Amino acid sequence: MKKLLIILVCICVTALAYAQDSLIANINARKSLSLNGRWQYIVDPYETGFYDYRYKELNEKAGDAYWNTDVPKDKTEKKEHGYIDKYSLEVPGDWNHQKTEFLYYEGTIWYKKSFDFHAVDNATKYFLYFGAVNYRADVYLNGKKLGFHIGGFTPFNFEIPASLLKEKGNFLVVKVDNKRGADEVPTLNTDWWNYGGITRDVKLVELPHSFIQDYMIQLKKPVAGKAPAIKPEVSGWVKMRNANAGETITITIPELKFKKQFVATADTTQLNFILPKLQLWSPENPKLYRVIVSTANEKIEDKIGFRTIEALGKHVLLNGKPIFMRGISIHGEIPQDVRRAVGEQDALQLLNQARELGCNMVRLAHYPHDEAMTRLADSLGILVWSEIPVYWTINFGSQAVLNKAKAQLQEMIARDHNRASIIIWSVGNETPISQTRTDFMHSLITRAKELDPTRMVSAALEVNYASLKNVNVVDDPLGQFVDLVAFNEYLGWYGGLPDQCRKTSWSTPYNKPLFVSETGAEGKWGFHADSLTRFDEEFQEWYYKEQVAMLKRMPDNFVGISPWVLNDFRSPKRNNPLYQEGWNRKGLYDDKGHKKKAFYILNAWYNEIKNKAQTN
C-alpha cells in the first residue's frame, strides 16, 4: 500500500512538471494579456511558505502555504504571510538590482499578481507563459498548482483549466528559487552573477481549441558545398495541438506571392516546398519575409529570413560562400544598471555596441538570451552563436542533470529555430575532458541535431597545452562530434605575458573549421600605467595587439573569433579591491559604456578584414 502511494505521488509530481515539447512558439504573435508590471512579493529564505516545520511540502490547501490566500477568514484566523504593495517588484526584471538588500540574495522569493479575466468559453485554451524565470519556478493559480519548471533562461508555459479562471481577482503566485545546486545546469560555480527572479515577460495566452503550437520554416540543409538554388527548397513542419483530421494548414509569403496548402496529418505535418526566386538572408542583406502560417481558426505571422549554413572541410559556408566571423562574446547583462538584459531597448544597446566594434557575429554567452536579442540580430544581420549553460564542472555522471540540460536545449531551439541569424547551437563551455563528460556532451549534440538538422552544433572546448612545443592543439575528443572546433584561449593573461603569442601557433587534428570562441584580458577603464601592469588599459591593449598578430598567422581553417567580452560584467569571483570590486574587467567597454584602448585594436583589425573582403 505504502509502495502504491509512493508511486502515485511520483506520478502526480511528474504530471505537474512542465512537458518539454509543449512550448508555444512565436508568443508575441498570439492573443494574450500581459501580466508584466508590479508583483507583490514575500522573501522566504527558509521556504516557510512551501515546507511545514518537518520540512515536508505543504498540503495544497494548507492555510499557511504562500500560494493560498493571505486574507484571514475572520479575526480569529492567524495568517503569517501577506502580499502588500509596500513589498513589490517589477516584472520582468531580476530582483537583485531592484532593492539594495537583494544585491546578493540567492534563495526563494514568492511573487503574487492579481488580475481579472473573462474566459470566453470552455473550448478556448488558456496558457500561462513565462519568457524565463531563474532558476526554478513553482506556479499556482487560485490555490491550484499548475506545475514547475527548472532552468533559468528558457521559456515555458502551463495550460490553465478554464474552470480555474475567475472574472475578478485571480490570485497568481510564483515561487522563484535561484539557489545554486551541484546537480543543476549551470552548477554551483560560474564566472557570472546569478540574477534571480521573473526575468522575462509573463503572459496569459488565449488559443483556439485546435491551435498551431510551433513550426519550422527554413531552407533545407544544403547539399555539401552547394549554394541554394535560384528557387530554393524549404523543408520544415507545423506542429498542431488537437488538430482536426483533414484540417488545412496554409503557408503564405505575400511579398513572394507564395501560397501553399497542406493537409494536417498527425500532430506534426511535414512541409516540403520550393519557394520562388528570393533574396537570401545574410549580414550584408538581412532580408526578412513576412510569413503567415494559418488554419481555419488561426493566423500567425512571423518574419523569417532564408539562408543556408554549413561547415565543410576548412570553411563555414553561408549560402554556399565561405565567411569569416568577426565576433564578440556577450553576457545578457546591462552593466550600467547592474541588471539582466530584457526587451528590445537592451538588445539594441548590446547589439549596437557590437556593431560599433565592427562585428558581424555575436556569441551569446553562456545561456540563451532574451528573444528580443535573436529577433533583433535577424533584422540587423548579425550572426549568432546561442548556448545552453552547461558550464565548467556540471555533474556529468548524472542522468537527471543530462535531462535538465536536454530540456534547456530543447527550449532554446524551440523558441528560436526560425531565426536566420542563429547559425550555431552550442552545447556548453570549457567542460573538463573525461569519457563521462564526452558521453554527456555527445548526447546533447545528437539531440541538437535531431531537433534541428539545418544548423551547426558546437561547444567551446579546452586546449591541450602539453603537446608539441609552442604548438597548442585542440584535440578534445568532443572535436569529432562538433561541426565547428571552437576553443577558448587566454595566452598572456592566464599564464605568461602576451608576448608568448609570438612563438605560439594552434592546430587541430580534426578536418574542420577552427574558431576562437574566447580570448581576453582584464583592464580597468581609466587606469593607466604601462603595458606590463596588470589591470591597466595598456596591458589589455598590448594583449590584443599580440593576439591579433598571432591570429593573423592562424592555419587556413581559421574561420573567426568571438573575444571575451563586450562589456565588463558582474562576477562574485572577481575580488581585487582596487580594479575589480566584483566585476570581471575583460570588457572592451567598461560597465558605464566607455571604450577601452583595446577596443580600438580589435576594431582596427575587424575593419581591415571587412575592407579586404569588400575589395576582393
Residue 237: which H helix or E strand, with range? strand 233-241
Q: Is 590 in the site for ligand GCB (CB under 6 A)?
A: no
Q: Is 191 in the site for ligand GCB (CB under 6 A)?
A: yes
Q: Which three cell numbers stand for residue 201?
A: 515577460
Residues 559-578 that bind ligand GCB (CB under 6 A): 564
Judged by beta carbon, residue 346 or residue 430, the one nearer ligand GCB is 430
Q: Is 518 in the site for ligand GCB (CB under 6 A)?
A: yes
Judged by beta carbon, residue 454 or residue 547, the one nearer ligand GCB is 547
CB proximity list for 73: less than 8 A, separation 6 or greater: none
Q: Which three cell numbers stand for residue 587?
A: 570588457
Closest listed residue to residue 331, CA positions, set 517, 565, 523: 565
Judged by beta carbon, residue 68 or residue 488, the one nearer ligand GCB is 488
Peptide bond connecting 105 to the previous residue in cis, omega within 30 degrees of 0: no
Judged by beta carbon, residue 108 or residue 134, the one nearer ligand GCB is 134
Q: Is 476 in the site for ligand GCB (CB under 6 A)?
A: no
* C-alpha span between 367 and 340 (Å, rounded): 12
Q: Which three cell numbers stand for residue 51?
A: 515546507
Q: 524 near 495, Cβ under 8 Å?
A: no
Judged by beta carbon, residue 381 or residue 479, the one nearer ligand GCB is 479
Closest listed residue to residue 589, CA positions, set 607, 615, 563, 613: 563
* C-alpha span between 119 and 226 (Å, rounded): 52
Contact pattern from residue 347 through residue 366 relative to ligand GCB, giving x for each residue in contact according to CB under 6 A and a dash for the rest? -------------------x
Query: Minimum distance between the CB of residue 190 and ligand GCB, rounded to whole angstroms?
Result: 7
* C-alpha span between 490 and 472 (Å, rounded): 12
Judged by beta carbon, residue 307 or residue 331, the one nearer ligand GCB is 331
Judged by beta carbon, residue 404 or residue 574, the one nearer ligand GCB is 574
Q: 111 near 176, Cβ under 8 Å?
A: yes
Q: Is 488 in the site for ligand GCB (CB under 6 A)?
A: yes
Query: Minimum distance between the CB of residue 187 and ligand GCB, rounded to whole angstroms?
Result: 13
Total residues at interface with ligand GCB (CB under 6 A)? 9
Judged by beta carbon, residue 213 or residue 429, the one nearer ligand GCB is 429
Query: Minimum distance between the CB of residue 490 and ligand GCB, rounded to whole angstroms?
Result: 7
Extended strands (E) in 285-440: 289-294, 299-304, 309-312, 315-318, 321-322, 325-330, 333-334, 339-340, 361-364, 383-387, 422-429
Position closest to ligand GCB via CB: 191
Burial (CB count <10 Å: 0-12, 13-18, 19+), residue 80:
exposed
Judged by beta carbon, residue 269 or residue 429, the one nearer ligand GCB is 429
Peptide bond connecting 92 to the previous residue in cis, omega within 30 degrees of 0: yes
Judged by beta carbon, residue 25 or residue 463, the one nearer ligand GCB is 463
Partner residues linked to 595 by β-bridges: 589
Judged by beta carbon, residue 141 or residue 354, the one nearer ligand GCB is 354
Contact pattern from residue 149 through residue 188 relative to ligand GCB, giving x for each residue in contact according to CB under 6 A and a dash for the rest? ----------------------------------------
Query: Minimum distance between the CB of residue 440 and ligand GCB, rounded to whole angstroms?
Result: 18
Query: Minimum distance between the CB of residue 590 and ligand GCB, rounded to whole angstroms?
Result: 15
Query: Minimum distance between the CB of residue 266 and ligand GCB, rounded to whole angstroms?
Result: 42
Query: Minimum distance between the CB of residue 492 and ligand GCB, rounded to whole angstroms?
Result: 13
SS3 84: coil
Query: Minimum distance between the CB of residue 513 and ligand GCB, rounded to whole angstroms?
Result: 20
Closest listed residue to residue 552, CA positions, set 589, 587, 588, 604: 604
Peptide bond connecting 471 to the previous residue in cis, omega within 30 degrees of 0: no
Query: Minimum distance between the CB of residue 331 and ligand GCB, rounded to whole angstroms?
Result: 8
Extended strands (E) in 464-568: 464-468, 471-473, 485-488, 505-507, 514-518, 558-561
Q: How far apart are the first and last CA of the chain?
A: 77
Torsion of CA 88, 90, 93, 98, to 10 degrees: -60
* C-alpha span between 321 and 411 (Å, rounded): 30
Judged by beta carbon, residue 215 or residue 542, the one nearer ligand GCB is 542
* C-alpha span between 299 and 293 (Å, rounded): 6
Judged by beta carbon, residue 128 or residue 484, the one nearer ligand GCB is 484
Q: Which three cell numbers stand for residue 470?
A: 609552442
Residue 499 backbone dihedrals phi, psi, to 5 degrees: -70, -10
Q: Which three cell numbers stand for residue 381?
A: 544581420
Q: Is 430 in the site for ligand GCB (CB under 6 A)?
A: yes
Q: Is 371 in the site for ligand GCB (CB under 6 A)?
A: no
Partner residues linked to 42 by β-bridges: 110
Query: Minimum distance between the CB of residue 178 and ligand GCB, rounded to whole angstroms?
Result: 18
Query: Minimum distance between the CB of residue 586 and ligand GCB, rounded to whole angstroms?
Result: 5
Query: Minimum distance between the CB of residue 486 and ligand GCB, rounded to whole angstroms?
Result: 11
Pairing type for strands 383-387 and 422-429 reads parallel
Report H helices in 105-225.
none
Query: Minimum distance between the CB of residue 354 and ligand GCB, rounded to whole angstroms?
Result: 17
Query: Minimum distance between the CB of residue 13 and ligand GCB, rounded to whole angstroms?
Result: 34
Judged by beta carbon, residue 23 or residue 521, the one nearer ligand GCB is 521
SS3 534: coil
Please give the residue ranges that form the binding site for ligand GCB (CB under 6 A): 191, 366, 429-430, 488, 518, 564, 584, 586
